[in-house]
Structure formats: C-alpha cells, structure tokens
Amino acid sequence: MDAERSQPDQFPRRYLEPRHIEPRHLELLREIAARGTLAAVARATHRTPSALSQQLRTAERELAVKLVEPDSRGVRLTPAGQLLAEGADEVISSLARVQARLDAATGDPRGLVSIGTLPSAGQVLLPPLLRRLRESAITLTLDDFDIAEADFAARALDADIVISHSISGGVPRGAEGLISTVLAREPIDVVLPADHDLAGKTELTAQDVIDHDWLGVPEGYPFDAIPVAIEQLTGRPVHRTFRLRDNHLVESLVGAGAGIGLLPRFSTRPAPGVVLRPLIGVRAARNIVALSRPDRHERLAVRTVTDHLVRIGLELMAEYGVEEG
C-alpha cells in the first residue's frame, strides 16, 4: 500500500484540491473558535446570526468542505473548520503586516485604535498618551474594567490593546497566545492610617504587617499574590476583613481605620490621614502589560500607540526612581 493510501481519509479527495480561501471566512472561523457560539460572534461583530450562517454556507460552498456541525451550543467547528481557524492568525497577521508597510510608505499612522484598560494603569498612562496623539491621525476609543488577571486575555478579542497587569511576570495568566509588551514595573505599597503604629517606619516587612487587619482584593486578582506570599513567608494567615476591587474605596476605608491595604505607587496620591510605605522581602511590584492579538499588533497605528505607551511607562519609572527588570 503506498503512502498516499495509508493516510487516514479525513477529508474526501475533492476537498484537498487547491481552493481560494477568503480572509473574511478565516476571520469568521477564528471568531467562532474563540467565542464559542454564533450568537457571541454576532454580538461582537454587530451582525445577525442569520448573516453569519449565510457566510458560513458561502464559505462551505466555495471551499467544498463542511466547516461547522450542530452541537448543543448551536454549532461547532469540524476538523476542517478548526484547521482553517488555526491558520487564520498567520494569514491575517501577514495581511496586516503588508497593510502596515503600505501605511508607512504613504504617510503617518492613522485610523481607529481601541484600548481597554485597568483603571489604575489607565489613570497614569492615558492622559499623556492623549496629549501625544493630539496632532496625529490616530483616533482612540477607550473602555475600562477591573477584572481577574486570567480574564484580561479575553478582552483582547474586542480591543486592539488591553492594558493589564500581573505580579508574577511579563505575561498575565491566560495571555500566552497574545503579544505581550511590558509597559512599566510599578511598586505596590502598603497603605495605612497616618497615625498607625507602623507609620513611623520607612519600610515594612512581612513580619511587620502579618498580624494586622487587611483590606484585600478578590481571589485571582494580581494584588492577592502579595498577602499570599506574606502568609507563606511567615507561616501565619492574613486576616482579610474585606475583599474589594476599587483602590479609592480601599484608601478611604483605610483612612477610617478599617485595616491596612495595598495600593499602586504611580496612581496613588495619598489623601490626608493615610500614608504609603514600601514592602520589602516579598515581591511587591506589578508589571503593567499591553496585550494585543498578533494580527492587530501588526497594524501601524496599534504599534505606534504601543510604542508611545512604552515610552510613557519608562518615564513614569524614571520619575519614581524605579529600576527596570
């Protein structure tokens, strides 16, 4: 039996003949793979499910292969559909690179760039970004969200750039398939009442803070890694009185004597009645990271905005005396 006959007949021979593959069909298959249902793709792309179904039928007719099949959630990709979805990033990124070269050859970067950001990072990065882009042909749309570290990657389905953060490294959990660009390393300080017993110290250790009440963050949020590290170092549990997302709320409750907490250094301007103190002996810094899908990152306007954010991050670190790495 020759090699050709020994291969599994996964697709009929007529399916394997060269076909013209339209990028728009690849993009649709990639969206189905990423979002799971036609309804979710329809919401994200502002199209109707019936229009998407019609496009799928057109793609199947042009390619002479079945791309989706029914399942409990509506449809799922067939092996052929999955194969094409997996190749979509490479094809669409290549097209985006060509478009970027054309943009560079014909003028300044231009177009719409959508940014979704963690509020505390956006607070220090976006005002200078807007000033730098004021005379450019780039237009921004902005969204903000305070979510668990592992959830930032999903937001890159809908935004050109997602400004996220991570305590553990330069790639937030779940973002391994995205382009990750570290914008800044920001210390996370202990916030405590100005009249607190520890306020007289210039820096704090795990032993200093372990026996005090804490205002923490929800599990899965990057800052939670710091009290967990304190627990591991001291062998004693941190008593979290509350788990809160909003930094301003944490600061106000600390000022009211509800406990001590953690706040990012760059975006915190301590109100009267509270002070910040650095925490030493544990990893108490976050990486602020820009995430983009590979094809979106290839756009000249997106790369231009990302480059601006990198420079702004470096300036922030220099302003606060924070070393790189």
The per-residue pLDDT string of the chain (325 residues; one tens digit each, 9 = 90 and over) reads 444 444 444 545 544 555 678 888 988 998 888 888 888 888 888 888 888 989 999 999 988 899 998 888 778 899 998 899 888 878 888 888 888 888 788 778 999 999 999 999 999 999 999 999 999 999 999 999 999 999 999 999 999 999 999 998 889 999 998 999 999 999 999 999 999 999 999 999 999 999 999 999 999 999 999 999 999 999 999 999 999 999 999 999 999 999 999 999 999 999 899 999 999 999 999 999 999 999 899 899 999 999 999 999 999 999 999 988 6
Do the domains 3-101 and 108-185+286-319 sit in the same CATH topology, yes or no? no
Task: State the burial class of residue 154 (Cβ atoms within 10 Å of its Cβ: 0-12, 13-18, 19+).
Answer: middle
> Where do the domains of the chain lie?
3-101, 108-185+286-319, 187-285
CATH class of 108-185+286-319: alpha beta
Pair 108, 82: CB distance under 8 Å: no
Query: Which two three-digit tokens encode residue 110?
Result: 């231009």
Do residues 69 and 261 make contact, with C-beta atoms less than 8 angstroms apart? no
CATH fold of 187-285 reads D-Maltodextrin-Binding Protein; domain 2 (3.40.190)
CATH T-level topology, domain 3-101: Arc Repressor Mutant, subunit A (1.10.10)
Residues near 204 by beta carbon (within 8 Å), at least 6 away in sequence? 190, 198, 277, 278, 279, 280
* Reported pTM: 0.81
